[in-house]
Amino acid sequence: MHPLKNRRIACDKQPLADRLQAEKRRFTAHRSSVAAALAHPYSAPPRCADQRISNVGSMLRGIRKASENWLGRGVMAAVMTLLAGSFAVWGINDIFRGFGRTTLAKIGDAEIPIDRFRQNYQDRLQQIGRELGRPIPADRANALGLDRQVLGEMIAQAGLDQRVRQMGLGLSDADIARQITSDPKLQTATGQFDRAKFEMILRNIGYSEQRFVVEQRQEILRRQILGSVSADLAAPKAWLDAVNQFENQQRSVEYIALGPAQAGEIPKPTEEELKKYFDERKILFRAPEYRKIAIVTVTPAELAKWLEVSDDDIKQAYDQRRSSFTTPERRHVEQIVFPTLADAQAAADRIKNGAHFGEIAGDRGLKDQDIDLGTIQKSRIVEPTVADAAFSLKDGEISAPIQTRFGAALVTVLQIVPETTRSLAEVTPQLRSDIALERAKTQVQNLHDKIEDDRAGGSTIEEAAAKLKLPVTTYEVDRSGRDPDGKPLPNIAHGADVVKAAFASDVGVDNDPIDADGGYIWYDVAAIAPARERTLDEVKAEVEQRWRDDAVASRLKTKASDMIGKLNSGDQLPALASADGLKVQTAKNIKRGTASGGISARMTDAVFQTAKDAYGSVAGDNPSQWIVFRVLEVNTPALDANSPDHERMTQTVQRELSADLVGQYVARLEDDLGASVNASVLAQATGNSPPDTN
């Protein structure tokens, strides 16, 4: 990082801590006073003209809160419609008095210009596009609440920056440099700052170093305030108990599985019934969009399939690499080590007089694994003198005493595996493949340049491939990679990536090749067959099967309901099961959100919505199954305060509390400073309305 001139921090550490604590006390006191001021928790404060900005602040909090999750983002379009109506009631001129045409929002004395919002908005849009692997249209992003989320963040950040200045907080250049260089994401594996990685990240996010440093300084100072507000939060025991119950409670059940046999005979549907069923559910039988994709694969592995390798080249490579096809002689060696050479000689004398090698080892308290070196090559024996002796013996022969670095030793050979060399015929397929692959690697970039030159001259990839005698494969697939017969895409390199890219493209578009396995894959969308409704004749067999499945499911659901009624009236599950030729099964220690054995995730959910000793029923994992069950046991293990589970849950709860408290603090800050938004400028900034030309 470029050396920066060190600045003085506005205050020393102790006054800084005092100021942060004072800010926390002020916020906490406000929270209490608000609760006390209302006659009822849901009482609304009186409304007057002076509260218009506060109302807008509430609106901003709603925007920010609703944008925190995908569900909220999905419904924010409706909220913005209501918001426009609220502006009409409050009076736009009063709310937006003092706005310039280039000002999108205000908080305190800070204005958020439309150009800065557009820059942040485009940065976020591009970031999402990179994560998705394809561009996302602005109207789609706005439907998910991206524009409101970005604006909400900018307003909150501007408010925090003002509070930072009011409190006199600061950060020296040396401190910010230390913070950046100590970020693990910007360090090498050895913990050193990696400038190359830093610069690569800057390029990826489109930042200059100066902009990055400025934003990091602001972010760290904001966190100082928010960290002090949310510090030292204790996780409530009731909350921890609730989390423990949700995660760790176990239930045991007895159940029966109703199937087609319990549904009885299902008559074949009439043509009228089948047509009516199909007409009411045509969307289920629609043909998806299909795309015909032409693919040219230029990777070393693909090119190698078509390259010819002569027998002479293979023979030459074999001679050069013969050693790699040779397995050296191996011997099964055993070794006994003695403290002195005299001890080894005494043992050798005993062997000459008839003692066995294993008997000598046993007398020394050694087991087979203590003396067995295994069947190994000479180079794998650590002690050179032992290796030389072992590989000079005949099969079954015992060496004379050997002096080694670890003492004296006797060595014997139990088996000799001679050296072997794989023949030319054996390794020809491998050599042919290796040679072709190496040659292909040198051709990839040359072919890439030729294809791109031809495409730049107006050729299609099919024409460019034909010119270079490269194969072109064409597939017709839907978005899931299945052909019109429902068969999955053949095993082609990076097939899923190609299909995904093709469905993000269009006919006639020049697509960049996909980098793959040291080469490239070119693709063109040759044709598009739009999604359409199929006729009954096209899908008659499928419609009839679905009709039958629904009929079975309907009967089983009715039967299960009748069973539940009888069970609640005093009948026993084993008796009802026996009457239908079924066997009662049991499942123990079921945990929420899991599936195991015969217990599906759907059944697990139903079990955890049923009280102990109560009966319930749920559809099975296929249309011809229905489950009737009774909850036998409900056990929630106590949460051990010293367990990893307790620590993890505590941290989770503290994070939730911290996030909620920070949200409240930012909302209060917006109220204190006064926040407002120019809705018409927001619409213009995101392309939702024409620019104001007045």
Give yes or no for residue 386 having a pLDDT over 60. Answer: yes
- Given a contact cutoff of 8 angstroms between Cβ atoms, the answer to whether 692 and 682 are in contact is no
Structure tokens at 627: 């489950």
Structure tokens at 68: 């925190």
DSSP code at position 680? H
Place of tokens 């469905």: 503
| Three-state helix/strand/coil letters over 61-96 | HHHHHHCCCHHHHHHHHHHHHHHHHHHHHHCHHHHC
Q: Cα-atom radius of gyration of the chain, to the nearest Å? A: 38
- Split at pLDDT 50, 70, 90, the class of 689 is low
* Alpha carbon distances (Å) from 263 to 260, 543, 551, 557: 5, 19, 9, 9
> pLDDT value at position 60?
39
- Given a contact cutoff of 8 angstroms between Cβ atoms, the answer to whether 197 and 189 are in contact is no
Burial of 556 (0-12, 13-18, 19+ CB in 10 A): buried
Look up the pTM and report it.
0.53
Give yes or no for residue 357 having a pLDDT over 60. Answer: yes
- Given a contact cutoff of 8 angstroms between Cβ atoms, the answer to whether 381 and 390 are in contact is yes
Cα end-to-end span (Å), the chain? 48
Highest averaged pLDDT of the listed ranges 69-83, 184-198, 285-299: 285-299
> pLDDT value at position 479?
92
- Given a contact cutoff of 8 angstroms between Cβ atoms, the answer to whether 138 and 150 are in contact is no
- Given a contact cutoff of 8 angstroms between Cβ atoms, the answer to whether 332 and 413 are in contact is yes
> pLDDT value at position 172?
86
Q: What is the mean pLDDT of the chain?
A: 83
Give yes or no for residue 150 having a pLDDT over 70. Answer: yes
**Cα–Cα distance, 403 to 386 (Å, whole number):** 9
- Given a contact cutoff of 8 angstroms between Cβ atoms, the answer to whether 331 and 390 are in contact is yes
- Of all residues in the chain, the percent with pLDDT exceeding 90 is 50
Give yes or no for residue 57 having a pLDDT over 50. Answer: no
- Given a contact cutoff of 8 angstroms between Cβ atoms, the answer to whether 45 and 38 are in contact is yes
Q: Which residues of 660-676 are buried (b: 16+ CB within 10 A; e: fewer)?
A: ebbebbbbbbbbbbbbb
Residue whose C-alpha is closest to residue 252's, from 638, 629, 600: 629
What is the pairing mode between strands 626-635 and 615-619? antiparallel
φ and ψ at 137, to 5 degrees? -60, 150
Helix axes 644-673, 13-37, angle to 10 degrees: 80
φ and ψ at 523, to 5 degrees? -145, 145
pLDDT tens digit string along 12-54?
A: 444 555 666 666 666 666 554 333 333 332 223 333 333 333 3
Q: What is the mean pLDDT of residues 341-355?
A: 94
Least confidently predicted of 69-83, 141-155, 175-189, 588-602: 69-83
> pLDDT value at position 49?
33
Q: What is the mean pLDDT of residues 606-618?
A: 95
> pLDDT value at position 79?
31
> pLDDT value at position 578?
94
Edge to edge, the sheet with strand 514-516 lists 473-477, 290-298, 519-529, 514-516
What is the pairing mode between strands 675-677 and 103-107? antiparallel
- Split at pLDDT 50, 70, 90, the class of 129 is confident
Place of tokens 């989320």: 149
Element (H, E) at 335: strand 330-338
pLDDT tens digit string along 215-263?
A: 889 888 888 888 888 777 888 999 999 999 999 999 999 999 999 999 9
- Given a contact cutoff of 8 angstroms between Cβ atoms, the answer to whether 357 and 336 are in contact is yes
pLDDT tens digit string along 662-682?
A: 888 888 888 889 988 888 888
**Cα–Cα distance, 284 to 281 (Å, whole number):** 6
Of residues 46 and 438, the one with the higher pLDDT is 438
Q: Which residues of 577-614 are buried (b: 16+ CB within 10 A; e: fewer)?
A: beeeebebbebeebebeeeeeebbeebbebbbebeeee
DSSP code at position 184? G
